[in-house]
Amino acid sequence: LQKSLSETFGADKYSRARKEVLTYMFSRPMQMALYFCTGVLHDESLFHHYALNVPFYTHFTSPIRRYADIVVHRLLSASLGARSPITMEKEAIQKQADHCNDRKMASKRVQELSADLFFSVFVRVRP
């Protein structure tokens, strides 16, 4: 598949963009991660990370990127005793997680539509 894609990218000024769009389109069917508050879920198997094969998993990046990362940093900091405990109820945390999931899905949909548009132009102009 990689060899086939490499031949398709070409060597013109749009080759890098074609590579990114096509690679994205092939990875799109993968299951999207969701934010959730562990306190509202009773099935611990939902905490499992399939690809890493670990039973408990929390993902976060720099807290300047996403609100969900800020929440995770605050919760981890509180659990380690580096700050005061979080005063939010677990239902409120889940509501924030749901909102983050909704915004992430909307962003993903715009990205998909953009890739579809680029791909249709690519197919139209490709000899």
Residue-wise pLDDT tens digits, 8-64: 777 777 788 877 777 777 766 666 778 888 888 888 887 887 778 888 888 777 777
Question: Which candidate, 107, 116, 104, places its Cα nearest to that of 24?
Answer: 116
Whether residues 19 and 43 share a domain: the answer is no
Whether residues 55 and 19 share a domain: the answer is no
Whether residues 61 and 104 share a domain: the answer is yes
For 22, the domain range is 1-29
Question: Is the full-model pTM beyond 0.75?
Answer: no
5: tokens are 């894609």
CA-CA distance, 22 to 5, in Å (whole number)? Answer: 8
Whether residues 17 and 59 share a domain: the answer is no
Whether residues 39 and 66 share a domain: the answer is yes
Residue 8: how many CB atoms within 10 A of its CB?
13
pLDDT in tens, 59-114: 777 777 788 888 888 888 999 999 998 888 999 999 999 999 999 899 889 988 99
Count of structural domains, the chain:
2
Whether residues 109 and 62 share a domain: the answer is yes
Whether residues 107 and 81 share a domain: the answer is yes
